[in-house]
């Protein structure tokens, strides 16, 4: 909804909450957390704590029926550790920037590829809760 005159009340301020979880090489549709109904994902960050060895590993985060909704094949680098914004790996429109239609059990799956070890870290999912009947920008 567009308003001609933004003011102190519009657009409505939002309180961002974060879910955080570890990513393991053994993750295979592993349950990590639950995002509540009406949550709107605003940002996804990955903190890689160890380099992947030999080749990059990658992982996806989502939920049943949309296993890449949050992250789609995020590569864990062989030469860098640190905090990364998900960028184009942020997933599908079903995950980011859309109100969730129900509670979502978040799952993670890791694809080792040519990596022999390392390539692990943490995921931080930032979201706010839109009220019933509200749009993202209400």
Q: Where are the domains of the chain?
A: 17-129
Tens digits of residue pLDDT in 58-97:
999 999 999 999 999 999 989 879 998 887 777 665 567 7
Position with higher pLDDT, 42 vs 87:
42
Query: How many Cα atoms occupy the beta-carbon half-sphere of 37 within 13 Å?
Result: 6
CB contact at 8 A, 35 and 128: no
Burial of 12 (0-12, 13-18, 19+ CB in 10 A): exposed
In the numeric block, the tokens 């931080």 are attached to 124
pTM: 0.88
- Using pLDDT thresholds of 50, 70 and 90, give the confidence band for residue 12: confident
Rounded distance, CA 81 to CA 54, Å? 15
Rounded distance, CA 28 to CA 36, Å? 22
Confidence check: pLDDT of 130 > 90: no
């Amino acid at each position: 909804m567009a308003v001609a005159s933004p003011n102190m009340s519009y657009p409505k301020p939002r309180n961002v909450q974060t879910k955080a979880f570890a990513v393991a090489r053994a993750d295979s549709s592993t349950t990590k957390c639950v995002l509540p109904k009406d949550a709107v994902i605003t940002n996804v960050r990955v903190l890689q704590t160890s380099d992947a060895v030999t080749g990059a590993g990658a992982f996806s985060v989502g939920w049943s029926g949309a296993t890449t909704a949050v992250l789609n094949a995020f590569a864990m680098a062989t030469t860098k550790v640190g905090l990364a914004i998900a960028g184009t790996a942020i997933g599908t429109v079903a995950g980011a920037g859309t109100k969730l239609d129900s509670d979502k059990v978040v799952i993670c799956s890791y694809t080792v590829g040519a990596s022999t070890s390392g390539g692990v870290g943490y995921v931080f999912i930032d979201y706010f809760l839109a009220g019933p009947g509200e749009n993202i920008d209400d």
